[in-house]
Amino acid sequence: MASDGDEIIVAPGTYSESINTLGKAVYLRSSGGPEETVIDASSLSGFNSVIVITNGEGADTIIEGFTITGGIGTLISPVTFGGGIYIDGSSPTVLDCIIRDNFGDVGGGAHSGFGSPLFDGVIFRDNIGAGLDAIASNAEVINSSFINNSHLNGGGAIHHSTSNLKVENSNFRGNSGQGVVVAFLTNTNIAISNSTFCDNQAEPVIGNWSDLGGNTFAQICPGESGIGDLNGDGVVNVFDLLLLLEDWGPCLPRKGSCAADLTGDNQVNVFDLLILLENWG
């Protein structure tokens, strides 16, 4: 049984389970990173969130370096909450994780209610019911990416209501819904800075929000004007090569962007380099 202050290191592998932190201030991290360490709830019976944090946990409850997938949410009849991560009344820290292919009526990737969680270096990808849903939750999202998330009744990437939320240095690509980021209700505000919205299938931001500067809104993402043209200047050359080398490695060193991932495998490596060189000029 884990105790407050414990560090739990998880070896690479795929683990078919659902985890509940039970109010403990623990540091749960993988030794091999999210590409090699997967928590998959898809084979479990009943309604399950992959990770449940609902007992007043604070910032010293830390989840780092996992792929979190296969959750269909915690059932609070008649809807499900937080397919990937269900947070209620808690303020954990989530670092360098990939939250993908989860479902929830309220927060497919993650749901946070009545807390102040931090998501740093997190990729929310291919979740149904929003990448992140936050209700009365002063969540903070930095250095993160929202890719191909969807929501029929709200923000495909982020759906937020009745509190304040901060988004910084993050990227939004290929999301669909009533908006990409939706601030629902008048007493809600989302502060966004240094973030990029591109190639989405909905309006970028709907509702009350504060533009703190450095934001980019585009129909075409950097690098999509031509394969390998990472800076969008119409030619593939040494400047694009330098950008690729800056992104080298797994796609979550808390920089929120991975435009050089030309193969779409969540890492920048020799295969992406070969594609760039094939399109040189």
Quote the distance between the C-alpha of residue 216 and its chain's center: 19
Domains of the chain in sequence order: 7-219 (2.160.20.10), 222-281 (1.10.1330.10)
Q: Which residue has the higher pLDDT, 108 or 279?
A: 108
pLDDT grade, residue 231 (50/70/90)? confident
Q: Whole-number mean pLDDT of the chain?
A: 91
Nearest alpha-carbon partner for 166 in 204, 192, 188, 196: 192
Angle between helices 270-278 and 238-246 (to 10 degrees): 170
Is the predicted pLDDT of residue 255 greater than 50, yes or no?
no
Per-residue pLDDT at 253: 46
* pLDDT tens digits along 13-50: 999 999 999 999 999 999 999 999 999 999 999 999 99
Strand order in the sheet with 7-10: 7-10, 27-30, 62-64, 93-95, 118-120, 140-142, 164-168, 189-193, 209-211
DSSP β-ladder status, 110-113 and 85-88: parallel
CA nearest 173: which of 143, 194, 196? 196
Which residues pair with residue 125 across a beta bridge?
100, 147
What are the pLDDT digits (tens) for 197-229? 988 889 999 999 999 999 989 877 765 657 788
pTM above 0.75, yes or no: yes
Q: Write down the pLDDT at residue 272.
A: 86
